[in-house]
Amino acid sequence: MTQVSITVNGTSHTDDVEPRTLLVYYLREYLRLTGTNIGCDTSSCGSCTVHVDGRSVKSCAMLAVQADARAVTTIEGMASDGELHPLQDAFHRNHGLQCGFCTPGMIMAAASYLEENPDPTEEEVRESLEGNLCRCTGYQNIVASILDAARGDG
């Protein structure tokens, strides 16, 4: 077992983990933060996207020990003081989801991308979702939601 201390959504957690524990399993099974979904399990679908030190990563492709002493943000850490994050609000208003399974990953990927490029074109938003699959929506309202959040409408 290896000890890790990871700050998740602003709270520090110290646990003993097997080195082979993937970050997504640490988040879901040790911390019970089940908003981060496991989809494909092969680092393709992006459902497990979280932020590590502010950048989007696929938490099924990273060991918990690699996140030791890092700051992790999950979908549960996006709202503050009962107020939805602007992306969460935009997905809600634009109906940016159907079944909702991919949504946490979509929002975390989009939040990281908008930090890099706060004023993207529609084409840039579509390219930025290269690592996230949605099997319901055809992406149209997901893209609309992200553009809406970037423009600060509503």
Partner 1 sequence: MIPAPFEYVRVGSVDEAIAALAADEEAKLLAGGHSLLPAMRLRVARPSTLIDIGRIEGLSAIREDGDAIVIGALARHHDVANSELLQRSCPIVAFAAAQIGDPQVRHVGTIGGSVAHGDPAGDMPAVLLALDATFVAVGAGGATRRIDSVSFFTGLFETALAPTEVLTEIRVPQATGGWSFLKFNRRAQDWALVGVSAVHVAGGVHVSLTNMGLTPLRATAVEEALAGGADPVAAAARADEGTGPPDDAFASSDYRRALVKVLTQRALQEAMA
Q: x/- site string to partner 1, residues 102 to 121, per CB under 8 A? A: -------x--xx--------
Residue with tokens 């983990």: 17
Of 60, 51, 61, residue with least CA distance to 114? 51
Parallel, antiparallel or unpaired: strands 49-52 and 11-17: unpaired
Nearer to partner 1, 3 or 12 (CB): 3
Residue 26 CB, shortest distance to partner 1, in Å, is: 12
The count of other CB atoms within 10 Å of the CB of residue 93 is 15
Residue 52 CB, shortest distance to partner 1, in Å, is: 8
Residue in 46, 96, 104, 120 binding partner 1, rule: CB under 8 A: 46
Stretch that binds partner 1, among 50-58, 87-95, 96-104, 138-146 (CB under 8 A): 50-58
Q: Where are the alpha helices (DSSP H) in 94-133?
A: 103-116, 122-128
Asked if 139 is part of the footprint of partner 1 (rule: CB under 8 A), the reply reads no
Stretch that binds partner 1, among 29-37, 45-53, 84-92, 136-144 (CB under 8 A): 45-53
Residue in 22, 78, 125, 150 binding partner 1, rule: CB under 8 A: 22
Query: Cα separation of 137 and 92, whole Å?
Result: 14
Amino acid at 111: A
Helix axes 86-93, 140-151, angle to 10 degrees: 130
Query: Cα separation of 89 and 95, whole Å?
Result: 10
Q: Where do contacts with partner 1 occur on this chain (CB under 8 A)?
A: 2, 18-20, 22, 25, 41-44, 46, 49, 52, 55-58, 61-63, 65-66, 68, 109, 112-113, 128, 130-132
